[in-house]
Structure formats: C-alpha cells, structure tokens
Amino acid sequence: MNGIIPIVDLDKIPRGSYCYEVLSYDDETGRLNIKSCPYWLLHDDKPDMMNGECTAFGIRDWEEDYMSLLWDSVKECGENYD
C-alpha cells in the first residue's frame, strides 16, 4: 500500500464467501442484484484474472504467490465468512 492504514468497518464486509451481498434474484433474466463490498476493487490497468484488490487488507491478485480469486469476487480476507 502507500503507507496509509485504512480504517476498516468490518460490519460493511458482506457475510459469506464472496465480496458481495445478494439483494435479489430476477427470475426473468436469471441475474442477481448485488451490493459489492466497499473495499473490493477491479483494476482496468491489470491483466484479466489478476486485477482484483481488497483495499481493507491490502490483498491484491497480482501480488499473491498463490492463485487469488479476488478478480472473481471470491473473498480472500476471511472476515464475516460464516
């Protein structure tokens, strides 16, 4: 990061294994209406499938030594994972 430690409100991190909360499901289109975690970002300047970031914990797909799935909204922080 840039040396600044962000203030993280753990209550804003969605419950479950994804970086979003499902608000509703549209039966007609088969689409989910979601609310993304405010700390989750995708970077257009990074390669696909290596462009996800969790700003709350400084986790970035392109910096990990393992296969990170932040780009696909899979939670890497472990918070509210219940």
Helix/strand number for the chain, H first, E second: 0, 5
The structure's pTM equals 0.84
Task: Tell me the DSSP string of 5-43.
Answer: PPP--GGGSPSSSBSEEEEEEETTTTEEEEEE-TTEEE-
Other Cβ atoms closer than 10 A to 3:
4
pLDDT at position 5 is: 62
- Tokens 């499901």 locate to 25
Per-residue pLDDT tens over the stretch 54-79: 999 999 999 978 889 999 999 999 99
Per-residue pLDDT tens over the stretch 17-64: 999 999 999 999 999 999 999 999 999 999 999 999 999 999 999 997
pLDDT at position 13 is: 97
Each domain of the chain, given as residue ranges in start order, spans: 10-72
